[in-house]
Amino acid sequence: MISFSWRFIRMWQRNSDVFLRLWRSEIPGFVIEPLLVLVAMGFGLGAYVGLVDGQRYIEFITPGIIASYTMFSASFECTYGTFFRMEFQKTFDAIIATPLNIEDVIAGEIFWGATRSMLTGTMILTVASIFHLVHSPWALLIPIFSLLIGTMFSSIAMLFTSIVPSVNSFNYFFTLFITPMFFFSGVFFPISSFPEIVKNLSWIAPLTPAVHLSRALVTGELHWSLLWSLGLIIILIVLFFSASLVSMRRRLTR
């Protein structure tokens, strides 16, 4: 495998330049929508939900909202975003004629997706703190946590992007993979409340360990079992990151 080099940072910079130029149009996706969900579910549904330990429902869902919008940011960036640059704008074709190679470009894309996740996670955390929904200093690790989760979901999305024939195929990715995780990975309801089959699927979904970690950081209730979640996330990153580099080289080398 031909590996990526430090030059990936140039691709990352290209994307960040574009973002700094057009960030106003991105605000609804990564700031307003998660807050709407938080308020609607937290106050709306929260009025009917009593938690065992006296925690407010909105506090229960805050870490999950952080984890899942971190997932959404990375996934959108490395599916639609990457596909548009690759297929419609032919941006990659121009760049691989310079000293950057395909792996640099793809690594730059993945780390950019992760950066978007970090921005999203940090924004939601900030707003949640203002509303006194965060009580632990461990939550200061949320930006780094978002970067890690973002790298995982960017890599997964990138592998999918490397094999899709057209932009319409992303409907499958979001409807069958991303959205179910949003509902069944313990964001809104404890996984234990689902039927056996859903429970089993939930345990293997990549969002589940992310929600666990996020919840621990926001509430400050850390325990050793979280190392399993962290380990799983790192394993998934290594697997999907390298697979997406290999698969993208195959797609782009004609």
Give the binding site for other proteins (CB under 8 A). 7, 10, 13-14, 17-18, 21-22, 89-91, 93-101, 253-254
Q: Taking the complex as a whole, how short is the minimal distance between the CB of residue 85 and other proteins, in angstroms? A: 8
Q: Taking the complex as a whole, how short is the minimal distance between the CB of residue 254 and other proteins, in angstroms? A: 6
How many CA atoms lie less than 13 Å away from 238 in the CB half-sphere?
6
Q: Taking the complex as a whole, how short is the minimal distance between the CB of residue 165 and other proteins, in angstroms? A: 16
Nearer to other proteins by Cβ, of 7 and 215: the residue is 7
Per the structure block, which two tokens stand in for 218?
């926001």
Question: What is the CB neighbour count within 10 angstroms for residue 248?
Answer: 25
Nearer to other proteins by Cβ, of 33 and 87: the residue is 87
Identity (one letter) of the amino acid at 39? V
Say if residues 111 and 155 touch (Cβ distance below 8 Å). no
Q: Taking the complex as a whole, how short is the minimal distance between the CB of residue 253 and other proteins, in angstroms? A: 6
Residue corresponding to tokens 């993208």 = 248
Nearer to other proteins by Cβ, of 1 and 94: the residue is 94
d(C-alpha 41, C-alpha 159), whole Å: 32
Nearer to other proteins by Cβ, of 171 and 253: the residue is 253
Q: Taking the complex as a whole, how short is the minimal distance between the CB of residue 104 and other proteins, in angstroms? A: 9
Q: Taking the complex as a whole, how short is the minimal distance between the CB of residue 142 and other proteins, in angstroms? A: 29
Nearer to other proteins by Cβ, of 49 and 96: the residue is 96
DSSP string, 102-138: HHHHHHHHHHHHHHHHHHHHHHHHHHHHHTT----GG
Residue corresponding to tokens 């940072």 = 9
d(C-alpha 14, C-alpha 82), whole Å: 13
Nearer to other proteins by Cβ, of 52 and 97: the residue is 97
Say if residues 119 and 73 touch (Cβ distance below 8 Å). yes
Judging by beta carbons within 10 Å of its beta carbon (0-12, 13-18, 19+), is residue 124 exposed, middle or buried? Answer: buried
